[in-house]
Amino acid sequence: MFENFKEQLKGKKVLVTGGAGFIGSNLCEALLELGVKVTCLDNFATGHKHNIEPFLKNPNFTLIEGDIRDLATCHTACNSQNFVLHEAALGSVPRSINDPITTNEVNVGGFLNMLVAARDAGVKRFIYAASSSTYGDSEALPKVEEVIGKPLSPYAITKYVNELYAENFFKTYGLNTIGLRYFNVFGRRQDPNGAYAAVIPLFVNKLMNHESPVLNGDGTFSRDFTYIDNVIQMNLLCLTTDNQDALNQVYNTAVGDRTNLLQLTELIKKYLSVYSPAIKEVEVMNGPKRSGDIPHSLASVEKARKILGYKASHSIDAGIKEAVKWYWESFK
């Protein structure tokens, strides 16, 4: 579905940090299919070797096992690269609350190492995973890029600092950057088994095993759930745009629609019950609200549409249908 990017990217060299993770491995796959020479940097702290196993025999794929907290490793990885897609980070608001120091070391220290290495290597463009958590306590809906609040977690602070550093590196050193504020990304290869599993793979896993998923709060909190192919499209648009005004910006990466947890659960049950009708009858449980959570999140994607030509390929419904099929085929 991304064939229209092939001519512009074929033969280019792209470093994907966190390339064995959920988003990173999907980016690696899409780039390889477009004829890109891909280097993956990952320390496998949260990524998995099985995510990149299919790529290891591809002559256009290189794996560097290393940590972005090590500057020398970052320099090695950035050497001779045209572009960097920086996905490596310690995600999860709860993880950052439990361990703010490591979150900061990876998400701020590691990010700064990557900026320095990219600058020194003469990388043409540095595109990085920003986060909707940057909107913090701002209650305005939809979220527009220019209006943010105060961050509500250590994770959110680190992602905001990334944006500040990226802007500074352009102004100080001329390194072109683009930040993509991801909104609740889901899809194939998202780990359902980790201690900090995101809500969709966690709920899918529970329901496949006929266990009751636990909603945080009363289930009315809503999010702009964004299928992985929308995220891939945004990254490819950022890699290929020749509009200089598109650079050194941040963009919401989302659908522009919101779904609450009750609606989400019903949608997952709807598509899982195709494979196991008994899932329809599994009841949902309610738990406490999660610390650092905001009640509602909804993105405006107008800026990405106008400047980059972005148009979401997958609604929440279409994305859940595809994701559920992948999980059923992979884990059953």
Nearest to 230 by CA among 330, 123, 322, 133: 322
According to the model, what pLDDT value does residue 215 have? Answer: 85
Rg, Å, the chain Cα set: 19
**278 within a domain of the structure (yes/no):** no
Q: Which domain holds residue 16?
A: 12-189+228-256+299-314
**22 within a domain of the structure (yes/no):** yes
- By 3-state DSSP, what share of the chain in percent is helix, strand and coil, each rounded to 5? 45, 15, 40
According to the model, what pLDDT value does residue 225 have? Answer: 96
Q: Are 17 and 52 in contact (CB under 8 A)?
A: no
At residue 259, the 3 state secondary structure works out as strand
Nearest to 191 by CA among 51, 40, 29: 51
According to the model, what pLDDT value does residue 23 have? Answer: 97
Our CA angle for 151, 18, 89, nearest 5°, is: 20
The domain that holds 241 is classified in CATH as 3.40.50.720
**145 within a domain of the structure (yes/no):** yes
Catalytic residues: 155
| Residue stretches of the chain with pLDDT short of 50 | none
**149 within a domain of the structure (yes/no):** yes
Report pLDDT digits (tens) over 300-328: 999 999 999 999 999 999 999 999 999 99
Please give the model's pTM, rounded to 2 decimal places: 0.96
Distance CA(284)–CA(204), nearest Å, equals 12
Q: Euclidean distance between the first and final Cα of the chain, in Å?
A: 27
- Centroid of chain to Cα 259: 18
On the CB side of 96, how many CA atoms lie within 13 Å of its CA? 25
- Centroid of chain to Cα 92: 11
According to the model, what pLDDT value does residue 31 have? Answer: 98
According to the model, what pLDDT value does residue 171 have? Answer: 98
Residue carrying the six token digits 């494979």 = 275
Beta strand 177-182 pairing with 185-186: unpaired
**109 within a domain of the structure (yes/no):** yes
**211 within a domain of the structure (yes/no):** no
Total tally of structural domains belonging to the chain: 1
**261 within a domain of the structure (yes/no):** no
Distance CA(175)–CA(247), nearest Å, equals 10
Report pLDDT digits (tens) over 74-131: 999 999 999 999 999 998 888 999 999 999 999 999 999 999 999 999 999 999 999 9
Structure tokens at 88: 């490596």
**241 within a domain of the structure (yes/no):** yes
